[in-house]
Amino acid sequence: MTPQETVQLARYVKALCPQQRFDEYTPNAWHDLLGRYQLTDARQAAAAVASRQAFVAPSEIITEIRRIRAARIEAANVLYDGDPTESPIDSVTNRRELLRAAGDGRLGTRTTQQALPTDRRPLELEAGPLGRLQMALAAIGTTPPRAIPGVANALAVPCPKCKAHPGRPCTSGRSDKPRRHADPHPSRTDLARTRAAGLDQDAS
């Protein structure tokens, strides 16, 4: 949140806890601790803490924010559609972006089946409940990565430079003996970021 939003948060907490003392330096101190969090999450967390006690500390807001975000991630049933050809760094980065989107509430509440592509329903899911590990393993590497709003995944879009299809790595060199790249071309990464931001008119 911005410094101005931290001022709003301090005023909100003051309204929740009239007996709590604030001065002109409180928003600055709170911003140092809470600046990396979203105002909406901080307000929700502050209200939850204030419903239980008379005073609200920044550390308690942080603890509550983490609980809120963890609950959102749990409710979203995050299953990352990884690809065997992507680099380990890309895989970790893309999964982190997906978890961040879930924590922000952009994925909403989904069942495990809703979290999977509609054209892929592992037979194991039809046989009954599975552990989270088995469900995650069933979801890995069976389809190309999907473009998810708000998540920049370079392998979910075609490459403008080498024309690699979604789910396939970038290549260079002769067409009959292409050399695979561990990392996508910069133009492909830019396209993924553009589509994640909803700025590409051709994105579907």
CB 148 within 8 A of CB 156: yes
Smallest CA-to-CA distance from 82 within 74, 72, 90 is with 90
User: Per-domain residue ranges for the chain?
Assistant: 1-119, 131-197
At 109, list the tokens.
């509440």
Predicted model pTM: 0.53
Instruction: Return the pLDDT at 192.
Output: 86
Bridge partners for 180 per DSSP: 171
Q: How many angstroms separate the CA atoms of 148 and 133, rounded? A: 22
Q: How many angstroms separate the CA atoms of 130 and 29, rounded? A: 46
pLDDT tens figures, 150-178: 667 888 889 999 888 887 888 888 777 78
pLDDT tens figures, 87-144: 778 778 877 888 888 888 888 887 776 766 554 444 434 444 444 445 555 554 445 5
For residues 145-181, b (16+ Cβ closer than 10 Å) or e, as one string? Answer: bebbeebbbbbbbebeebebebbbbbbeeeeeeeeeb
